[in-house]
Amino acid sequence: MIKVGIVGGTGYTGVELLRLLADHDQVEVVAITSRSEAGTRVDEMFPSLRGYYDLAFTDASDESLAACDVVFFATPNGVAMRRIPALMAKGARIIDLSADFRLQDLGVWEKWYGEQHLAPELVPAAVYGLPEMFREKIAGARLVANPGCYATAIQLGFLPLVEQGLVDTSWLIADGKSGASGAGRAAKVGTLMGEVGESFKAYGASGHRHGPEIEQGLAAMQGKPATVTFVPHLVPMVRGIEATLYARLTDDSQDLQALFESRFADEPFVDVMPWGSHPETRSVRGGNTCRMALHRQPGQSQIIVTSVIDNLVKGAAGQAIQNLNIMCGLPETQGLKSPALLP
Amino acid sequence: MIKVGIVGGTGYTGVELLRLLADHDQVEVVAITSRSEAGTRVDEMFPSLRGYYDLAFTDASDESLAACDVVFFATPNGVAMRRIPALMAKGARIIDLSADFRLQDLGVWEKWYGEQHLAPELVPAAVYGLPEMFREKIAGARLVANPGCYATAIQLGFLPLVEQGLVDTSWLIADGKSGASGAGRAAKVGTLMGEVGESFKAYGASGHRHGPEIEQGLAAMQGKPATVTFVPHLVPMVRGIEATLYARLTDDSQDLQALFESRFADEPFVDVMPWGSHPETRSVRGGNTCRMALHRQPGQSQIIVTSVIDNLVKGAAGQAIQNLNIMCGLPETQGLKSPALLP
Amino acid sequence: MIKVGIVGGTGYTGVELLRLLADHDQVEVVAITSRSEAGTRVDEMFPSLRGYYDLAFTDASDESLAACDVVFFATPNGVAMRRIPALMAKGARIIDLSADFRLQDLGVWEKWYGEQHLAPELVPAAVYGLPEMFREKIAGARLVANPGCYATAIQLGFLPLVEQGLVDTSWLIADGKSGASGAGRAAKVGTLMGEVGESFKAYGASGHRHGPEIEQGLAAMQGKPATVTFVPHLVPMVRGIEATLYARLTDDSQDLQALFESRFADEPFVDVMPWGSHPETRSVRGGNTCRMALHRQPGQSQIIVTSVIDNLVKGAAGQAIQNLNIMCGLPETQGLKSPALLP
Amino acid sequence: MIKVGIVGGTGYTGVELLRLLADHDQVEVVAITSRSEAGTRVDEMFPSLRGYYDLAFTDASDESLAACDVVFFATPNGVAMRRIPALMAKGARIIDLSADFRLQDLGVWEKWYGEQHLAPELVPAAVYGLPEMFREKIAGARLVANPGCYATAIQLGFLPLVEQGLVDTSWLIADGKSGASGAGRAAKVGTLMGEVGESFKAYGASGHRHGPEIEQGLAAMQGKPATVTFVPHLVPMVRGIEATLYARLTDDSQDLQALFESRFADEPFVDVMPWGSHPETRSVRGGNTCRMALHRQPGQSQIIVTSVIDNLVKGAAGQAIQNLNIMCGLPETQGLKSPALLP
């Protein structure tokens, strides 16, 4: 059994890790910490877990973390970089679900996250945990930076096009939409049901932190910089991300459907639907799949990709477990096999 | 492997059976029928199942049903009673998720369902599939009448009180609330998002079909008739039932919390929360649990029970699989072990 | 023009007062205060009001309040009792939308609201602002205690039955359901979209502050105490309250439909639908109407009333303006004439 | 008083016309027709209108329509072109809320709407009812083609940029999102709460009828063709449209905020928020406003416009009444003055 710890377990990614790991028979959760809820039983805070865990939150100083094989950080940005160095020194491998190690360019990171990076020495060796791009590096990584939710759906949707150099990457557009759980479980007026319910809006339209993360990935795909205009939106629902991607084709000679199907043929968690389909977020609710489809409009040279994920699964906890499986040499789909919850 | 067929697979209980059975390693779904969608692949209609089933809907005459060990009827009321006799004659055991065999009193059935019963000879041997009351009979049953969704949440909530004769059963009140999936997947104006969204209402307040079903169960608990005033309501959500139950205590000397915990101690799918808790429907979303809690208000002799289930799981497909497990001598929780999806 | 002030204008009842008063041509809002948002323009916080008000929030010391004819308190409980005495001394009439003056029994108030009452001398003269019961007293009142939202829907639904002595008031049941705006606009985990969305639950089932408020009203209707079991529930929507009321008839000889229609015949904001109808909360969204209908189930001696209001209108701001109209001798429906927003 | 008729009153635009006209003191609704509901009282179908109209649906042959000054068609596409000629011959002026007269190019119309146009002789004189572009023509029109909902939000957002020739109109992107009421009130599986709730998806991504309508408008703005990639999406809510518009600036020397504010300075129903704001659909719920804001991302030459309307008001019934006011020489805001319903 692989011993696992979770730092920051009271948020939505924390409970989602627990939900998914309950179905994972090679993993044992031995410690889960919370600054604010130390002493509270996990199933008291999350009654959906009654009968699954006999575990209480401990405080951050919990020494059992150091004995873990893998530690997940499900903390707000800025926490992992403070705590990871000591843990890694004791031998634990780390999967960080926050943004602390997602950007290789520290200048860009510090601009978007508004503080100095406190573990710059760990950044070069941190592996960006998108298995469809970096599976081999993940296998050997000691620190995996789990991708952002929007960034996952958007990079996977652009991947075959950009890898093959088929689109004008001087201007890509990604219109993203997310359920409210993406904003986390902290008490904020802006994500109250009374504010979010029965309404829709863009946010971060003048620039969002996932923009540079996506552009870093696009650059890796094609070996040169790319520009994306990314605008996120808030959907009056709990879970799910949809991204509609627009790009101008520079090469119109390819069978794009075949390209996408071929690119992802061996990927257990990417599903390319038939041309012209409309993936729904509910078709991936609770599952680790990124489901996508392609479209073109009559007489236009643009390609449209619609891509959906569950923001808490493929966009966070599920992808983290996929990464754990890869790091530990387990079957990649272990603990992630159940179908999505539809309706 | 147990060979299973599903009649009427295009509704919400049909797709839910498929979702849950994908996690059940002792069962193989060999046939699924649909009048309207014969020839359509199951995963074309329900993309959440892509990769899980290589199966298309067949029409009602599908002979492979007769070779099944167990056939689920996920059809509108009135279909099962027309088709079950022939299937049973060929040896299949039946779990009927519709209402055709839920009521033992044919006069009552015909009054509420508005037609003559066409298989009255099967009614006496049909077993009401509420395992918490009738587990042993279910084990040997050839025809199980799977309980209604409201009826499940409400009977389980009243069960310990009525069995022990602690409340005035001349007037029990059950205020039920359900998500819109309870109304099925048929095209109706009344369950459009535009009608149901951001609104709340009672329906069937002058009498609902689950009323007599609940009263039949209450009578079985105490060996004499009981009266329940049951009013259902429509909640602007997809899944979930909550029932708030009110009863006047006739015996105030008991430790009711202990009674409930003891009554359900061996039940894998009933969870009694601590006194005064408030179970949420999301705490059972996608899971087969009925979760409940008890309350009393200052100075009052009434007991209040709040009880939640997922209407499509413990209220339909999950309970049907629980019954299948019992009928086939499998562990009762097989295929039903995953935690609920929260949030 | 009547000069009006609003204390505590950043919550949902505050913005709702502003929305409704924009349609009221006899009233001018001259001051609106907020501890936290002093200096912010009203339409910056609430863009729906852009073009309607040229007004910024001021701090609590705003002297222009004292020059108002009427001041609304849209503050959390406990604020009004601290600030009203000074304002009243300067001549302003007060409509308090909080709970500070709703209960005449100070012992009960202090038990449920958890602190000592600081203006007990004002309580006896405070008039409970339910026009359908106390219209004449409201007309002459200097301090009106605007009723709670649940308490409004429930009292109006029971009113004809209890006034006429037709039901057993030793046990009335009121099962209430409210949208999340009823919990206010303060940042709390419990009312995040991620917590409330796509879920349903009871809360306060062991006792809720509106219970004694309802019982006070029931006692006033019949001249003797009554007992109500009131359980509120949280609905995944923004606005709206539905209450389903249950009572045992002690006198079965009356035409109850005629009784309700006659009792409310002259009430501009109570609508009795035909027997057996199911009022929807959306049918009163944004409007000041309480809409209700009556039901009986076959063979039962219980009467069921379903009653809906918009919790922010008839349950708060609209009823407050109705009270203002009565206090100022204006037509009672002034500013409250627009139909509800359906769908 | 202006006598008004409504053809096809049982859908969402029909009831919305009635809601808004109840606040319009220069208009009397004298007839409302429905094929399916002739004889039903309007307030029986829509209880929100109880007390506002003493009117029943009549069948299509209702002769009183011919005596109306203005007749609204709130019918499915294809009905108006069959019935309008006879009505216009009797003198009625027409506001058609369907798509029958929106496209001047009959070939394009017939391609997208799938049938032959039956009143081609009326098309040239039909005026496209977007007052911000065609106010003067509307004033004298006998037949107004009320714009589509998406088309309204999108054209208004692009208008100042395209009129002034500041963007590359060889590729404009419009990512639209709509609540489910946009799909109408017909019984369809695809818009059931059980299908739409707690989910998000694109639809019509390979081409949608509003695409050519938008392109017709863009061409009129700049006097030459333009290309828009328009993808609509379905939001799990009832009302509201948001469109996020993307364009590459060809002229970067202008103060775009000033341009937008100046272009719409005299428009009563267009509100330009401060640069970088995020308009929410709820800020226009129930109101006739189109609210928008501008954004640019760091280092990018693209301009982003986010634009919101209520699809049933500025996107349908409200704009139709605005057109009626213009046609009849009334103040343009008559009956449309109430603030939006927020929250």
The answer for residues whose C-beta is within 8 angstroms of residue A217's C-beta and 6 or more apart is: A128, A130, A133, A151, A155
Average the pLDDT over C272-282 and give the result.
98
Rounded to whole angstroms, the Cα distance separating B200 from B30 reads 40
- Picking from B236, B341, B241, the residue whose alpha carbon sits closest to that of residue B281 is B241
Judge: A238–C181 Cβ closer than 8 Å, yes or no: no
DSSP for D172-211, written as a single string: EEEEEEE-GGGG-SS--GGGBHHHHTT--EE-STT--THH
How is residue B248 written in tokens?
């006047």
Which residues in chain C are contacts of A198 at CB distance < 8 A?
237-238
Judge: C192–A198 Cβ closer than 8 Å, yes or no: no
Among chain D residues, the shortest Cα distance to A296 is held by D206
Q: CA quadruple B43, B46, B48, B53: dihedral positive or negative? A: negative
Partners of C70 in the β-ladder = C4, C93
Give pLDDT, residue A60: 77
Neighbours of A148 (CB within 10 A): 23
Average the pLDDT over D14-26 and give the result.
97
Rounded to whole angstroms, the Cα distance separating A182 from A174 reads 17
Judge: A189–C192 Cβ closer than 8 Å, yes or no: no
Judge: B306–C202 Cβ closer than 8 Å, yes or no: yes
Q: What strand order describes the sheet that includes C302-309? A: C201-202, C228-234, C172-178, C241-248, C302-309, C290-295, C270-272
Burial string for B80-117 (b: 16+ CB within 10 Å, else e) reads: bbebbeebbeeebbbbbbbbbbbbeeeebbeebbeeeb
Rounded to whole angstroms, the Cα distance separating D75 from C291 reads 30
Average the pLDDT over B283-303 and give the result.
97
Q: What is the dihedral of CA C314, C317, C322, C327, to 10 degrees?
A: 140
The distance of Cα A66 from the centroid of its chain, to the nearest Å, equals 25
Q: Which superfamily is assigned to C2-146+316-327 in CATH? A: NAD(P)-binding Rossmann-like Domain (3.40.50.720)
Burial string for D184-203 (b: 16+ CB within 10 Å, else e) reads: ebeeeeebbbbbbbbbbbbb
Give pLDDT, residue D34: 94
- Residue in A279, A280, A286 closest to B286 by CB: A286
Gap from A244 CA to chain C (nearest CA, Å): 23
Give pLDDT, residue B60: 76
Q: Where are the beta strands (DSSP E) in D10-66?
A: 27-33
Kindly give the pairing relationship between strand C290-295 and strand C302-309: antiparallel
Average the pLDDT over D335-339 and give the result.
97
Cα–Cα separations (whole angstroms), residue D15 to A279, B191, C23, C287, D141 = 32, 18, 21, 16, 25
Give pLDDT, residue C49: 98
Give pLDDT, residue C118: 97
Neighbours of C203 (CB within 10 A): 16
- Gyration radius of chain B over CA positions: 19
Substitution target in A149, A175, A294 with the highest count of D β-carbons within 10 Å is A175
Give pLDDT, residue D177: 98
Give pLDDT, residue D60: 77
Q: How many CB pairs under 8 A join B and D?
A: 76
Query: What's the angle, vertex CA B314, arms to CA B313 and CA B318, rounded to 5?
Result: 50
Neighbours of D253 (CB within 10 A): 6
How is residue D108 written in tokens?
């394009």
Residue D94 above 80 pLDDT? Answer: yes
How is residue B98 written in tokens?
């519709």
Rounded to whole angstroms, the Cα distance separating B213 from D134 reads 63
Query: What's the angle, vertex CA C3, arms to CA C1 and CA C5, rounded to 5?
Result: 150
Gap from B228 CA to chain D (nearest CA, Å): 29
Give pLDDT, residue B334: 98
Average the pLDDT over B96-107 and give the result.
98
Domain boundaries B2-125, CATH class: alpha beta
Amino acid at B219: A
Gap from D279 CA to chain C (nearest CA, Å): 8
Among chain D residues, the shortest Cα distance to A283 is held by D199
Three-state SS for B260? helix
- Residue in C195, C237, C300 closest to B198 by CB: C237
- Residue in B185, B236, B237 closest to D192 by CB: B185
The answer for residues whose C-beta is within 8 angstroms of residue D63's C-beta and 6 or more apart is: none
Neighbours of C105 (CB within 10 A): 11
Q: What strand order describes the sheet that includes C143-145? A: C27-33, C2-7, C70-73, C93-96, C143-145, C127-128
Give pLDDT, residue D61: 79
How is residue B163 written in tokens?
């069995």
Which residues in chain D are contacts of A300 at CB distance < 8 A?
227, 229
Residue C63 above 90 pLDDT? Answer: no
Average the pLDDT over B277-293 and give the result.
98
Residue C60 above 80 pLDDT? Answer: no
Give pLDDT, residue A334: 98
Judge: A195–C188 Cβ closer than 8 Å, yes or no: no
* Cβ-based burial of A274 (10 A; exposed 0-12, middle 13-18, buried ≥19): exposed
Distance between start and end Cα atoms, chain A? 34
Q: Where are the beta strands (DSSP E) in C25-130?
A: 27-33, 70-73, 93-96, 127-128
Q: Which superfamily is assigned to D150-309 in CATH? A: Dihydrodipicolinate Reductase; domain 2 (3.30.360.10)
Which residues in chain A are contacts of C233 at CB distance < 8 A?
none
Q: What pLDDT, in 10s, does the model give residues C122-169?
A: 999 999 999 999 999 999 999 999 999 999 999 999 999 999 999 999
Kindly give the pairing relationship between strand C93-96 and strand C127-128: unpaired
Give pLDDT, residue D292: 98
- Residue in D240, D281, D306 closest to A205 by CB: D306
Where along chain A do its domains lie?
A: 2-146+316-327, 150-309
- Residue in A49, A286, A339 closest to B49 by CB: A339
Give pLDDT, residue C282: 98
Query: What's the angle, vertex CA C227, arms to CA C222 and CA C233, rounded to 5?
Result: 120
Q: Which residue has tokens 């329509």?
A: D65
- Category of D24 on φ-ψ map: left (φ > 0), alpha (ψ -120 to 50) or beta: beta
Kindly give the pairing relationship between strand D228-234 and strand D172-178: parallel
pTM beyond 0.80, yes or no: yes
Judge: D47–C12 Cβ closer than 8 Å, yes or no: no
Among chain A residues, the shortest Cα distance to B278 is held by A47
Judge: D191–B193 Cβ closer than 8 Å, yes or no: yes
Amino acid at A233: H
Q: Where are the beta strands (DSSP E) in chain A?
A: 2-7, 27-33, 70-73, 93-96, 127-128, 143-145, 172-178, 201-202, 228-234, 241-248, 270-272, 290-295, 302-309
Average the pLDDT over C243-271 and give the result.
97
Judge: D193–B193 Cβ closer than 8 Å, yes or no: yes
Rounded to whole angstroms, the Cα distance separating C77 from D253 reads 54
Judge: B197–D12 Cβ closer than 8 Å, yes or no: no
Average the pLDDT over C88-112 and give the result.
96
Which residues in chain B are contacts of C343 at CB distance < 8 A?
194-195, 197, 199
CATH code for the part of the protein at B150-311? 3.30.360.10
Q: What is the mean pLDDT of chain D?
A: 97
To the nearest 10 degrees (0 to 180), the angle between helices A149-163 and A131-140 is 110
Q: What is the mean pLDDT of chain B?
A: 97
How is residue B287 written in tokens?
């899971």
- Picking from C74, C16, C26, the residue whose alpha carbon sits closest to that of residue C49 is C16
Average the pLDDT over D238-251 and give the result.
97
Give pLDDT, residue D63: 84
Give pLDDT, residue A61: 79
Catalytic residues of C: 149
Judge: C181–A194 Cβ closer than 8 Å, yes or no: yes
- Picking from A267, A318, A154, A173, the residue whose alpha carbon sits closest to that of residue A221 is A154
- Please tell me what DSSP assigns to residue B314: I
The answer for residues whose C-beta is within 8 angstroms of residue C263's C-beta and 6 or more apart is: C159, C160, C163
Give pairs for A112-115: CB < 8 Å, separation 24+.
A112/A209, A112/A212, A113/A77, A113/A78, A113/A209, A115/A78
The ipTM estimated for the assembled molecules is: 0.97
Which residues in chain C are contacts of A202 at CB distance < 8 A?
none
Rounded to whole angstroms, the Cα distance separating D71 from D6 reads 6
- Picking from B311, B305, B314, the residue whose alpha carbon sits closest to that of residue B175 is B305
* Cβ-based burial of B215 (10 A; exposed 0-12, middle 13-18, buried ≥19): buried
pLDDT class for C61, splitting at 50, 70, 90? confident
Give pLDDT, residue C72: 98
Kindly give the pairing relationship between strand A228-234 and strand A241-248: unpaired
Rounded to whole angstroms, the Cα distance separating A230 from A218 reads 13
Chain B residues with at least one Cβ partner in A under 8 Å = 12, 15, 18-19, 22-23, 46-52, 181, 197-198, 238-239, 271, 273, 277, 279-280, 282-287, 291, 312, 337-343
Digitized pLDDT (tens) for each residue of chain A, 343 residues in all: 999 999 999 999 999 999 999 999 999 999 999 989 999 999 999 999 999 999 999 997 778 898 999 999 999 999 999 999 999 999 999 999 999 999 999 999 999 999 999 999 999 999 999 999 999 999 999 999 999 999 999 999 999 999 999 999 999 999 999 999 999 999 999 999 999 999 999 999 999 999 999 999 999 999 999 999 999 999 999 999 999 999 999 998 999 999 999 999 999 999 999 999 999 999 999 999 999 999 999 999 999 999 999 999 999 999 999 999 999 999 999 999 999 999 9
The answer for residues whose C-beta is within 8 angstroms of residue B238's C-beta and 6 or more apart is: A343, B179, B180, B181, C198, D193, D194, D197, D198
Give pLDDT, residue C228: 98
How is residue B175 written in tokens?
């205020």
- Residue in A181, A191, A197 closest to C238 by CB: A197
- Picking from D287, D328, D264, the residue whose alpha carbon sits closest to that of residue D16 is D287
Helices (H) and strands (E) in chain C, counts: 10, 13
Gap from B211 CA to chain C (nearest CA, Å): 10
Is A150-309 the same fold as A2-146+316-327? Answer: no
How is residue A13 written in tokens?
């990614």
Rounded to whole angstroms, the Cα distance separating A257 from A166 reads 13
- Picking from B279, B191, B280, B188, the residue whose alpha carbon sits closest to that of residue B234 is B191
